[in-house]
Amino acid sequence: MKKILLLSTLISVFYYTTSNGQNVQSEEIKIKVENPENTCISITNTSDTVVAFTFSLNGMFFQATAEVADEVRRMAGKSTDSLFFYAWKFIFEHTSGNYSLMNDNSATSLLLHLNSIGMGYCGKQALSLAQLWEELGYETRIWDLNGHIVPEVQKDGKWMMLDPTYRVYYFSEQGEIASVEELAADPTPIVQPKKLITSDVRYFLRYTKAVAKFYITTEDNTLLYTNGYPEGIDTLFVELPPHSSFTFPGIFSNLSSRKEKDQEHFAQCKLRIPAPWQGVVTHSLFLAQVKGSGTMQYNNKIYEVNDTYLVEHLLLRKNFFAESNVSVESDTMDLIFFMNPYFSRILPENTLVISGENIEALKVSTTSISNAESTPKHLRELYFSYSNRRAGLIGEEFAGKNCIPITSFNTIEEFILFVQSYFNCVYKGTEKDKAIRQIAKVKGALTQLPEAFPVDRLLYFLKNIPAYLILYDLDHASVEEIQDALQAMAAKK
């Protein structure tokens, strides 16, 4: 049984405006919590009628693309000449370039991507950034490099490429941000950069020949879009049936049946509808799953909530739909939606703003949730995606089960032992030969370093990168790419 916690601080401010002839009420609530990682916010409709509302939490969640642009302007402050840069920064700081949660192109809508999904391959991030640039008044376009997708923005007549997935841009010989066509003609700024944009080494592969290949193979570089991007969800709202509740954030459903490499970088919200109720729930978030009891209309047919067809098709996440026609005759039904984990993070001190008509019927409380339901903090901060098997190994490492017994190193030899213990743990049994090959690959890259190579500087950066990021990249890179990355790290100031 979940325990309802009292709000330690509650300050409400009411004011009224007019929108399309309707009275709109807003309430600002200050919420303090002692255990943010295990706390959810619950909004309950105490009335006998449907209540629709919008909300924001700590300044995040947006009702219009213009609001996102305003947030970028706030970030930029007086640096109005660099709005394009702050838009790029906003996208990569608030979304993740990991495995896409859905196969629906409607999720390329800026608001749906920001408010609900929060993650996706390079194409999703590129399109979101281009849409935001367009909202800020820039000319934009998107390139498909056959293996990677990047956006460009035009300023003062010059095209510039800022990659939100690799979190990088490159400087030309003239000291300007290079375009895709400039990098295709001369990849030197990628493989031999004179100026690095950040001391963050967790993305060291961005300065390698593997990335340069995306650009220099010009025969398959194509323009996907030049402004005029696909339209999708352009608002945010929640519709609560009578005596229903809206709870967030948490992990309320299992996604592991979709595919082996299903990414865990997500948060969810739960709309619980008690019986008896029948009707259409309109929503602007991406539906992940339905649980409990009752029926739901899907593809023009009525299914029981636990029907195998309905469960499997929702897990495929091929379609976004803005309405759910449901019937709850007994017990409760849970509609579970995706929610951006960057936006929904609970802090020790929070500001929740609710706006809409009749919101005096809404009661706000905090709810304690288990560790299993909590959105893990480290998943909100990941840079690279990884398979479920590696995620399990990482969990064992942090749990002290010594899957990776060596956790620190001061010499290249100790670093090799660190890598060796990892691959021996990952690849066992019939895959033992792969462990041997991977270890030999890393040893080969390290032993071929120049005699004057600054080993101390390299070790300093290696020790300051989270272990799972090092190991993931070493597993997937070639000897040449590893050497490129080591050289780039050792060259950092």
CA dist list (Å): 470 to 386, 426, 448, 461, 484: 12, 14, 19, 11, 14
Distance, in Å, from the CA atom of 337 to the CA atom of 446, rounded to the nearest integer, reads: 46
The answer to whether the beta carbons of residues 9 and 30 sit under 8 Å apart is: yes
Task: Please check whether residues 219 and 268 belong to one and the same domain.
Answer: no
pLDDT, tens digit (0-9, with 9 covering 90-100), for 26-77: 999 999 999 898 899 999 999 999 999 999 999 999 999 999 999 999 999 9
Asked if pLDDT for residue 167 goes beyond 80, the answer is: yes
pLDDT, tens digit (0-9, with 9 covering 90-100), for 71-114: 999 999 999 889 999 999 999 889 887 666 776 555 568 999 99
Asked if pLDDT for residue 5 goes beyond 50, the answer is: no
What are the helix and strand counts (H, E) for the chain?
Answer: 15, 20
Task: Please check whether residues 74 and 213 belong to one and the same domain.
Answer: yes
Q: Is 403 within a domain?
A: yes
Given 171, 194, 225, the domain boundary residue is 225
The answer to whether the beta carbons of residues 409 and 415 sit under 8 Å apart is: yes
Q: Is 218 within a domain?
A: yes
Q: Is 82 within a domain?
A: yes
CA dist list (Å): 117 to 73, 107, 121, 214, 341: 23, 8, 11, 27, 9
Asked if pLDDT for residue 8 goes beyond 50, the answer is: no
Task: Please check whether residues 86 and 46 belong to one and the same domain.
Answer: no
Task: Please check whether residues 143 and 177 belong to one and the same domain.
Answer: yes
Percent with pLDDT over 90 in the chain? 41
Task: Please check whether residues 104 and 34 belong to one and the same domain.
Answer: no
Query: In the numeric block, which tokens belong to residue 202?
Result: 């967790």
Q: What is the pLDDT of residue 476?
A: 58
Task: Please check whether residues 89 and 220 belong to one and the same domain.
Answer: yes
Given 196, 225, 254, the domain boundary residue is 225
Distance, in Å, from the CA atom of 290 to the CA atom of 457, rounded to the nearest integer, reads: 52
The answer to whether the beta carbons of residues 273 and 247 sit under 8 Å apart is: no
Boundaries of domain holding 452: 386-490
Task: Please check whether residues 71 and 219 belong to one and the same domain.
Answer: yes
Q: Is 407 within a domain?
A: yes
Q: What is the pLDDT of residue 327?
A: 96
Task: Please check whether residues 77 and 49 belong to one and the same domain.
Answer: no
The count of domains in the chain is: 3
Task: Please check whether residues 302 and 254 belong to one and the same domain.
Answer: yes
Distance, in Å, from the CA atom of 47 to the CA atom of 331, rounded to the nearest integer, reads: 18
CATH number of residue 128's parent domain: 3.10.620
Task: Please check whether residues 321 and 360 belong to one and the same domain.
Answer: yes
Given 316, 345, 377, the domain boundary residue is 377
Task: Please check whether residues 57 and 30 belong to one and the same domain.
Answer: yes
pLDDT, tens digit (0-9, with 9 covering 90-100), for 350-408: 999 999 999 999 999 999 988 778 775 445 444 333 434 444 444 444 444 444 545 56
Task: Please check whether residues 368 and 430 belong to one and the same domain.
Answer: no
pLDDT, tens digit (0-9, with 9 covering 90-100), for 312-321: 888 777 778 8
Q: What is the pLDDT of residue 441?
A: 83
Neighbours of 247 (CB within 10 A): 24
Q: Is 231 within a domain?
A: no
Q: What is the pLDDT of residue 355?
A: 95
Q: What is the pLDDT of residue 427?
A: 74
Q: Is 262 within a domain?
A: yes
Q: Of 177 and 15, which is predicted with more confidence?
A: 177
Asked if pLDDT for residue 462 goes beyond 80, the answer is: no
pLDDT, tens digit (0-9, with 9 covering 90-100), for 278-294: 999 999 999 989 999 99
Q: Is 252 within a domain?
A: yes
Q: Is 230 within a domain?
A: no
